[in-house]
């Protein structure tokens, strides 16, 4: 408070006017990212051990345990297929609807990954019904499913998880542990192939990938 009435107001007004022209503190987020210190502990990342191997064993336990479902796992497994997936779908609304289901440890019908073959699920339903939806009889369920399809489609595994209430990780573990269960369709024509005809030929895909990589390499070479 000063003796001249209004001097304090005038000082404040002058200060805001000066700040009007000063550089701004805003970080324009999607274009510019804030500096994150090297010590920051909130970062999610996969760690490598001292031999350079990935420490993650893709056990899915982190994704299943994450209470706010921010951990999303996806990638190519040892057999070169993208069907290891656990995590929230992209859209929030969908996530909210299904979060209760997801938190219960079951799989959720996952529309984002429906580029796998459309399977006729009635045999799976029948098998599950025969086995009383009992997760303890998982091996025989899986064997029966393989007998129908010739292999274990991911969609079928998810359906089994969804219906029986067993963790997808457990079913995937069982399926990938036993040697006689297979997760990809058999190559030789003698065995049953249900929907494999819809899949694009892998060799064609690999060839196009190689071409793309060559092109990029060539372009990079031209720059240097």
Partner 1 sequence: MTATSSRPSADDPRITLDQELGIFEPVPPYPPRTEREAEFYTLGDGQMFINMGPQHPSTHGVLRLVLKLEGEQVVDLDPVVGYLHRGVEKLCENADYHHTISQVDPLEYISALFNEWAPVMAYEKLLDVEVPRRAEYIRVLSAELNRIASHALFMGWMALDLGGLTPILWSFIERDEIVEMLGALTGQRMLFNYFRIGGVNGDLNHDFMSRLGDWMTRATDQIEANLTLLNTNEIFVRRMRGLGTIDGQTALQMCWTGPNLRATGLPFDIRRAHPFSVYQELDFDIPTRIEGDCLARYLLRLDEIKQSLRIIDQCLHRMPDGPIMAKLPRLIRPRPGRAYAAVESPRGQYAAYAISDGTDQPFRLRIHDPSFIHLQSVGQLVQGQLIADTMAVMASLDPVMGGVDK
Partner 2 sequence: MTFVARTWNRLTIPGRVLLGLFLLGGLLTGALIALIIFSEPILELLGANLPLVRFVGAATVVLLMTIPTAFLIIYMEMKIIALMNLRLGPDRVGPFGSLLSVVHGLKVLMKEDFTPTGADAPVFTLAPVVTYLASVMTLLVIPFAPGLFGQDMNIALLYFFAISGLGVVGLLMGGWSSFNKYSLLGGLRSAAQVISYEVPLVLSVVGLLILAGTMSLNQLVLNQAGWFTDWYIWQQPLGFLIFFIAATAEANRTPFDLTEADSEIVAGFATEYSGMRFGFFFFAEYVNVFIVSALTVTLFFGGWNAPFPFPEIALAFDPGSLGIALLILVAVVPVVGTLILAMPFYLLRSSMPFWQALVIGFVLFNIVAVAAVLGWAFVSLEWVAGLLWFMLKTYTFVFIFVWMRGTLPRVRIDQLMGFAWKWLLPASLLNLFVTAGAVVLVRELGA
CB atoms within 10 A of CB 105: 15
59 is in the binding site of which of partner 2, partner 1, none (Cβ under 5 to 8 A by kind)? none
Closest contact distance (angstroms) between CB of 11 and partner 2 is 10
17 binds, among partner 1, partner 2, none (CB under 5 to 8 A by kind): partner 2
Distance, in Å, from the CA atom of 206 to the CA atom of 105, rounded to the nearest integer, reads 36
Tokens 């089994």 sit on residue:
160
Nearer to partner 2, 19 or 43 (CB): 19
Ordered DSSP codes for 158-183: HHHHHHH---HHHHHHHHHHSTT--S
- Burial group, residue 166, by CB count within 10 angstroms (0-12, 13-18, 19+): buried
**Residues between 4 and 63 with contacts to partner 2, criterion CB under 8 A:** 9, 12-13, 15-17, 19-20, 22, 24-26, 28
Contact residues: partner 1, CB under 8 A: 1-2, 5-9, 11-12, 15-16, 19, 25, 35, 37-42
Report how far residue 157's alpha carbon sits from residue 175's, in angstroms, rounded to the nearest whole number: 9
Residue 20 binding target from partner 2, partner 1, none, CB below 5 to 8 Å by type: partner 2
Task: State the Cα–Cα distance between residues 69 and 64, nearest whole angstrom.
Answer: 8
Q: Which does 70 bind (CB under 5 to 8 A by kind): partner 1, partner 2, none?
A: none
In the complex, which residues of this chain contact partner 2 (CB under 8 A)?
A: 9, 12-13, 15-17, 19-20, 22, 24-26, 28
């Amino acid at each position: 408070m000063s003796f001249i009435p209004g001097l304090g107001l005038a000082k404040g007004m002058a200060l805001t006017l000066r700040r009007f022209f000063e550089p701004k503190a805003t970080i324009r987020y999607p274009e510019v990212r804030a500096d994150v210190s090297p010590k920051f502990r909130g970062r999610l990342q996969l760690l490598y051990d001292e031999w350079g191997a990935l420490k993650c064993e893709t056990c899915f336990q982190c994704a299943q345990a994450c209470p706010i479902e921010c951990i999303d796992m996806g990638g190519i497994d040892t057999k070169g297929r993208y069907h290891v997936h656990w995590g929230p779908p992209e859209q929030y609304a969908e996530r909210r609807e299904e979060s209760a289901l997801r938190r219960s440890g079951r799989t959720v019908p996952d529309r984002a990954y429906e580029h796998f073959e459309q399977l006729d699920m009635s045999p799976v339903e029948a098998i599950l019904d025969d086995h009383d939806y009992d997760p303890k009889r998982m091996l025989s369920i899986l064997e029966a499913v393989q007998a129908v399809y010739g292999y274990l489609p991911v969609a079928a595994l998810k359906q089994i998880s969804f219906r029986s209430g067993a963790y997808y990780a457990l079913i995937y573990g069982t399926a990938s542990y036993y040697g006689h269960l297979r997760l990809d369709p058999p190559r030789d024509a003698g065995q049953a192939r249900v929907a494999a005809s819809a899949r694009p030929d892998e060799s064609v895909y690999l060839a196009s990938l190689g071409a793309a990589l060559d092109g990029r390499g060539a372009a990079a070479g031209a720059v240097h």
